[in-house]
Structure 1
Amino acid sequence: MKKTIIIISGMLLISCEQISKSIKDTLKPATQDSAAHVEKEEEPPKSPFDPAVERQIDEAQRLVNTIMEKNHPTHVRHPKEGKNTNFLTNEQKLNKAEEALRKLPQYMGKEIFIYSTISFYDDGRIHVMLQHPQNPEYVDSYDYRDGNWSEPTPEQLSVKDDIKTRLVSLNKIPFSNIARAGKIYDEEVSKTEGAEPITNIYLSVWKNTLRWYPSSISGSRERYSIELNENGTLKKFERE
């Protein structure tokens, strides 16, 4: 375990995905029977790691996410563009943005899959990466501002990127959940002396499940960890 933490500490400036891949490459057994890992398409991929090692990898991923959050304050502080519009708690405006996304011509009649992350800003902006509507190996990024979605921008991915495990259906993230989460964040911030308002909420997709950020609220005297359920309801709030 100590050896793994040392490895992680040496790679703090690398992206979250790169760190995760490096950890798995380090822990991967030297020999594997490739035939034993052939999976049916409808079955989720099985981990080649011992359960104890898998837990160690998850702990490392959580550490990386915490470090990334601390070193990217724009995720939870004042955005550089626009003015505060209380977008994060406005269910009507959020639903309008979701409806507009679903009506994009390239996705009409198709299920939309979010890749890796989606970010919401209180000035009315959204940034998201989506699986390409025709080629499942491609990913495009989209920005929402002033009530409109941008044209797609291609994202460059590596052959090592495991796209399937970083996807989640838009059906699993109704934008109304953001309003629910935003109200919870506001409530907890109001009870924490010296805490600044949350101006950015983002969700990370890991192993096809959702994780909400920010995962902590810092005041002038106290710091709290906060964890939400996938539907945006409060799961845990405790002092660190």
Structure 2
Amino acid sequence: MKTLSSFMITMACSFTFMGCKQITRSVEDTFIPKPDPQRVSKPAPVQQAIDSITGRAIMQMQDQLTTALSKVHVTAHRSKAVKRKDFLINTRALKKAEASLRNLPQYRGKEIFIYQSVHFYDNGSISIMLRHPENPDYVDSYEYQNGIWSAPKPEQLSVNADIDNRSVSLDEVDFTSIANITRLYNQKAAQIEGAKPTTSAYMVVWDKVVRWYPTTINGTRERYSIQFNTDGTLKDFRRD
């Protein structure tokens, strides 16, 4: 497993120029198995045990891959001018960003669906992918910088992309949750020798379930796992 993890992280960093979204789709198609419609609905005990182990392994790969790809995202955004270091804990600025997104002309009066992920950075920028307002089989990416959302950029998706299961309604996500997550993460990090405060936070959708990142705090001598509820409150914190 350690060798596989190292391979995925190395691959993500080596192919930064391909773009984080393209890397994600490629690895998903390779490593994330698709449901088998011929499978028996109630597997035998041995098969259930195999499924449990496989499921945990897949979740670990998802976490490791998501963390690696996020580092690529952060590296790309560091090249931009840093103007607002407090953006991740600025609830007023986060509310404004969400309100501006909802008021985009193409989405007025329509439900907005986030596809795959949304990334927030301490320099005041946001990267997000949304399902097309007219054709739900299409996805567009948007960038938020200097208080303004960019024009939509069409995303090329794999034929195997499971758009429905990788989407969640914006009504289920509150941008201000990022402020709670950042404060909690930084409070815990301050208590761990060698740990640093986070400069980004992000949300990933797997099987229509929202997961907030970062999920690990690395210190000089210790490593901790941290998980958050959808509203940004603390769900779990423990030493690995």
Query: What is aligned with 2:30?
Result: 22
After TM superposition, the structure 1 = structure 2 runs for residues 1-240 of structure 1, keeping only pairs within 5 Å, are: 12=8, 13=11, 15-23=23-31, 25=33, 32=38, 52=49, 54-68=51-65, 69-70=67-68, 73-74=71-72, 79-83=78-82, 84-240=84-240
SS at match of 1:178: helix
Tell me how far 1:125 sits from its aligned partner. 0.3
Give structure 1 stretches of 5+ with no counterpart.
Answer: 37-45
Residue identity matched to 1:22: T
Deviation at 1:182, TM superposition (A): 1.2
Q: What is the identity percentage for the equivalent residue pairs of Structure 1 and Structure 2? A: 41
- Deviation, 1:18, is 3.7
**Structure 2 CA distance for aligned equivalents of residues 55 and 156 of structure 1:** 33
- CA change 1:212–1:170 in 2 (3 A) is same
2-structure distance, mates of 1:47, 1:171: 35
Q: CA 1:74/1:186 → structure 2, altered by over 3 Å: closer, same or farther?
A: farther
Q: Deviation per CA, 1:143-164, whole angstroms, max 9, x where unpaired? A: 0000000000000001111100
**Alpha-carbon shift at residue 193 of structure 1 (Å):** 1.6
Change (3 A) 1:137 1:95: same
User: Structure 1: which 4+ aligned runs deviate by more than 4 Å?
Assistant: 5-11, 50-54, 74-78
Q: Secondary structure at the match of 1:97?
A: helix
Supply the distance in 1 between the matched residues of 2:229 and 2:42 (Cα, whole angstroms). 24
- Give 1:55 deviation, angstroms: 3.5
Over 3 Å counting, the alpha-carbon distance change for 1:70 and 1:133 in structure 2 is: closer
CA gap 1:10/1:82 in 2 versus in 1, 3 angstroms: closer
Shift of residue 6, structure 1, vs aligned partner: 9.3
Partner of 1:41: none
Instruction: Report the Cα distance in structure 2 between the residues aligned to 1:99 and 1:115, rounded to whole angstroms.
Output: 18
More divergent stretch after superposition (142-151 vs 11-20): 11-20
Q: How far does residue 229 in structure 1 lie from its aligned partner after superposition?
A: 1.1
1:58, distance to aligned residue in structure 2 (A): 3.2
Q: Secondary structure at the match of 2:204?
A: strand
Secondary structure in 2 matching 1:156: coil
Contact 2:25–2:158 (CA<8 Å) still a contact in 1? no
- Aligned partner letter, 1:95: K
For 1:59, the aligned partner's letter is R
CA apart distance, 1:66: 3.4
1:87 to partner: Cα distance = 0.6
User: Is contact 2:74–2:121 with CA below 8 Å preserved after alignment?
Assistant: no
> In angstroms, what is the RMSD of aligned CA positions?
3.1
| Structure 1 residues 32 and 75: CA distance shift in structure 2, 3 A | same
Q: Is the 8 A contact 1:79 1:121 kept in 2?
A: no
Alpha-carbon deviation of 1:64? 1.9
Deviations 1:203-226 (A, max 9, x none): 110000011111101112211111
- TM normalised by structure 1 equals 0.81
Q: Does the CA contact (< 8 Å) of 1:23 and 1:57 recur in 2?
A: no
Query: Structure 1 pair 201/129, CA: closer, same or farther in 2 (3 Å)?
Result: same
**Larger deviation: 91-100 or 226-235?**
226-235
Q: Report the TM-score, using the length of structure 2 for normalisation.
A: 0.81
- Superposition deviation, residue 71 in structure 1: 6.5
